[in-house]
Amino acid sequence: MSERPSLVLLDGFALSVRGQHVELARSLQRLLAYVALHRVPSRLRTAAALWPDPQAERSLSRLRTALWRTSRLAVPVLVAEGERLRLAPQVRLDLDQLTKGREQRLAALVRRRHELLPGWYEDWVLERRQHTKLLYLRALERAAERELRQARYGRAVEATMAALRTEPLRETPHRLLIEIHLAEGNYTEALAAYQSYQRLLREELGIGPAPHVQQLVRRPPC
């Protein structure tokens, strides 16, 4: 069992230490999430975001209390260095798999939605949620391209469909789905995928597929 604390921000907040879930007050959850998303924020910026008050000293006082409470956990999860805060080096953050562009197993990608802190509506969360969604889509698309190159067509389709569930109007997964069917020699399925995308664009946006997507199904491969 890993001794490293694990902080989860995707599909909900969770902190575990030595494999055991740690119950935290919402204020401490928000503090950990804010520091994780902003990497090395200042005390003043953190206090103002989490405990807005016309008197900055009151916000800072609440931050100091929260920091003291986190210091009482079984292992360190936050480090205060002068005016800066950061996660402790041993904390394993699930978001790093996306933000650092690490290759992930396909099963790990498709079994979760990878939505950043669903149900949280603070401005600083909303600002990062769309960016996280784009990182997830790109990870799925890289996985689909990798599986396509290795002729693992079923797995490529699996990654592509996960991307389409996340963002139905995004061009890249539609294009990849057509390319996968063509690589398998299934022109009829490729054409059906193209026509489905064409209808979706027409109904939702009043436009058609881009020329390079049209070109994919212009004529059956010889």
pLDDT(61) > 80: yes
Look at residues 40, 48, 145, 138 and name the one whose alpha carbon lies nearest to residue 86. 40
Overall average pLDDT of the 46-66 stretch: 96
Predicted model pTM: 0.84
74 pLDDT band (50/70/90 cuts)? confident
Tens-digit pLDDT profile for residues 139-198? 999 999 999 999 999 999 999 999 999 999 999 999 999 999 999 999 999 999 999 999
**Mean of the per-residue pLDDT values of the chain:** 92
Average pLDDT (116-131) is 95
d(CA 121, CA 50): 12
State residue 189's pLDDT score: 97
Q: Which residues contact 39 (CB under 8 A, 6 or more apart)?
A: 86
How far is residue 66's CA from residue 36's CA, in Å, rounded to a whole number? Answer: 15
pLDDT, average across residues 198-219: 95
Percent of the chain with pLDDT over 70: 95
pLDDT at res. 221: 53
User: Which domains are present in the chain?
Assistant: 6-93 (1.10.10.10), 96-216 (1.25.40)
The distance from CA 48 to its chain's CA centroid, rounded to whole angstroms, is 26
Polymer length in residues for the chain = 222
Whole-number pLDDT of residue 222: 52
Q: Please report the pLDDT score of residue 102 as a whole number.
A: 58
Quick one: tokens of 37? 């998303």
The better pLDDT of the pair 109, 183 is held by 183
| Side-chain half-sphere CA neighbours of 78 within 13 A | 29
Given this model, what pLDDT does residue 100 score? Answer: 67
CA–centroid distance for 207 within its chain: 29
Assign 220 a pLDDT band (cuts: 50, 70, 90). Answer: low
Return the structure tokens found at 110. 């498709």
> Which of the four pLDDT bands, split at 50, 70 and 90, describes residue 18?
confident
